[in-house]
Amino acid sequence: MEEANLVKDLALILISAGVFTIISKALKQPLILGYIVAGFLVGPHMGLFPTVTSTAEVKEWSDIGIIFLLFALGLEFSFKKLLKVGSSALITAMTQCVGMFILGFLVGEAIGWSNMESIFLGGMLSMSSTTIIIKAYDDLGYKDRPFAPLVFGALVFEDLIAVVLMVLLSTMAVSNKFAGGEMLMGLAKLVFFLILWFLVGIYMIPTILKKAHKYLNDEILLLVSLGLCFAMVSLASLAGFSEALGAFVMGSILAETLESEHIMHLTKGIKDLFGAIFFVSVGMMVDPHVIAEHWGTILVLTITVMVGILFFSTSGAVLAGQGLDNAVHAGFSLAQLGEFSFIIAGLGVSLGVMRDFIYPVIITVSVITTFTTPYMIKAGTPAYQYLIRKLPEQFVARINSFSSLERNNTAAAQNEWKRLIKEVSLRVLLYGVILIAIDLGSHLFLDKVIISRLDGFTPFVRNLISVVITLVVMSPFLVGIAISGDEINRSSIKLIKARQANVWPVISLALLRILIAMGFVLSVIWLSGHSCSY
């Protein structure tokens, strides 16, 4: 019976999606709007039309839709393209995330939410929607525009930032403080996943598929590519990342192979099918009763998202030397809430630090901003033309000349960035292994010695002595991670001199190393307090 209901629901979803996309096409509107309207009308909250009943199963199918959409994006946006826009995308993503986190917290405080709710609101408002932007760009034919790589690269970095942010928010919610051990583990998983992405993407899979080329017909290639996609999705999920990020990673790996265009052609129909289910399911989440009850809050948050993300992402792209045209289009493209907003909202409710009504409010804000996304993207061009007319010519010329200088120095900057990242990675890896060994040795041997020699002291004093001795032994290596060496300093200075916009990513890299060192310190304190029961 459940299988029959699911088949009926899928028929209802696909037929309604077909009808409303035809209407959207006839009205010369983006197809994504037809999907959302279809989902709203056949969802569980309206009751005017036949209604979808197997919402849990449809949710699972929509999750598969996200996987295929991100896999397709990865096939078009290879690992090499990400490296090419890496620093610019990172600056844009960091500016948006930090700016929106602070703005979201202030708005939460202003509308009377608790401190923890406001902190979670900052996290929810920080991320744009990769899935929505992919579909909108596809419908509008924007995937080949000059600003598209910047937007897609920023979205990838936002997903990585979201992983670390969720670790921080969850540990704060549980303990009302930052947990160093959890933070360190989250960073370690992130580094491991990125290294795996690099090694598999550059060396293994392209080589294997090249050697097996003569044995790959359409059927085998489709099975192999989808199998690899879901394998990376599973690995990403086990590591605590989003399934969508895993799908994108495998897509970007396969984009480096000779079969990338063929794979894209083979998977297009599957992507369109499951993508339609996903976008209809987004429309199904809109509840008119929630809108009526909390319309003021929804309006405030919607304006905050659209104006705030537009401002911060545009500013970040300008700081990254992308020129006014690319920056404005990137800002208008990113002005919506992403899927991580749902996850963070659900996390806050499940941990009991947020009231239940916040989750449907965030979903409604996300759907509204999703509905406006195609129009915002198209508004980028007239907005840029308006700014060109209103801003002083000298100011616009300075921004654009900064962008031209950045393009001229791209090759040299990329080599210097590679040298800097290599030096930092080797230093963190080497000293990190030593620090982990010291920490393990402390718990295996030092704790036993302290127990036997200082039996008359209280457990707190023994713990304190153990922590102090461990940190003293660790201190040279902690300083080695947090403080730059000669090679790192030279590369950092060259990058900053070559391009002023490199200041922010260089500072971010330095802060990351300091954060890793602090993570080791906090993990020693945290593990000592939880593992020693004297």
> Phi then psi for 129, rounded to 5 degrees?
-105, 110
Residue 513 in contact with residue 432, Cβ under 8 Å? no
DSSP 431-475: HHHHHHHHHHHIIIIIHHHHHHH-TTS-HHHHHHHHHHHHHHHHH
Of the segments 221-230, 313-322, 518-527, which one has the largest average pLDDT value?
221-230
What angle is formed at CA 354 by the lines to CA 351 and CA 357, rounded to 5 degrees? 125
Tokens 């593990």 correspond to what residue?
527
For 155-188, write each residue's pLDDT tens digit.
878 877 776 677 677 666 665 544 455 555 655 6
For 360-381, write each residue's pLDDT tens digit.
888 888 888 888 888 888 888 8
Indicate the pLDDT class of residue 395, thresholds 50, 70 and 90.
confident
Indicate the pLDDT class of residue 533, thresholds 50, 70 and 90.
very low
Quick one: which of 148, 157, 82 has its CA closest to 126? Answer: 157
Quick one: which of 209, 101, 88, 222 has its CA closest to 154? Answer: 88
Residue 532, pLDDT > 50, answer no
Instruction: Say what the pLDDT of residue 322 is.
Output: 77
Instruction: Say what the pLDDT of residue 35 is.
Output: 81
Q: Which residue has the higher pLDDT, 303 or 487?
A: 303
How far out from the chain centre does Cα 70 lie?
Answer: 12
HEC sequence for 283-318:
HHCCCHHHHHHCHHHHHHHHHHHHHHHHHHHHHHHH
Quick one: which of 313, 367, 307 has its CA closest to 337? Answer: 367
What is the reported pTM? 0.64
CB atoms within 10 A of CB 382: 11
Indicate the pLDDT class of residue 299, thresholds 50, 70 and 90.
very high
Tallying the residues shown for the chain, one arrives at 534
Sign of CA dihedral 245, 331, 278, 119: positive
Indicate the pLDDT class of residue 304, thresholds 50, 70 and 90.
very high
Domain ranges of the chain: 2-406, 409-531
Q: What is the mean pLDDT of residues 448-457?
A: 68
Instruction: Say what the pLDDT of residue 279 is.
Output: 78
C-alpha span between 41 and 12 (Å, rounded)? 11
Quick one: which of 236, 253, 261 has its CA closest to 79? Answer: 253
Indicate the pLDDT class of residue 132, thresholds 50, 70 and 90.
confident
Indicate the pLDDT class of residue 500, thresholds 50, 70 and 90.
low
Sign of CA dihedral 167, 171, 177, 183: negative
Quick one: which of 380, 309, 441 has its CA closest to 145? Answer: 380
HEC sequence for 41-96:
HHCCCCCCCCCCCCHHHHHHHHHHHHHHHHHHHHHHCCHHHHHHCHHHHHHHHHHH
C-alpha span between 469 and 71 (Å, rounded)? 49
R_g (Cα) of the chain, nearest Å: 25
C-alpha span between 234 and 439 (Å, rounded)? 31
Instruction: HSE, CB side, 13 Å, CA atoms: give it for residue 93.
Output: 26
Sign of CA dihedral 488, 489, 490, 491: positive
CB atoms within 10 A of CB 432: 21
Quick one: which of 453, 314, 344 has its CA closest to 101? Answer: 344
Question: What's the whole-number average pLDDT of the chain?
Answer: 76
Quick one: which of 89, 104, 213, 229 has its CA closest to 152? Answer: 89
For 405-436, write each residue's pLDDT tens digit.
455 455 555 566 667 776 777 777 777 777 77
Residue 527, pLDDT > 50, answer yes
The 8-class DSSP code of residue 30 comes to -
Instruction: Say what the pLDDT of residue 484 is.
Output: 64
Give 2-406's CATH code, choosing from 3.10.180.10, 1.10.3720.10, 1.20.1530.20, 1.10.10.10.
1.20.1530.20
Instruction: Say what the pLDDT of residue 282 is.
Output: 74
For 256-291, write each residue's pLDDT tens digit.
777 778 888 888 888 888 878 877 877 777 778 877
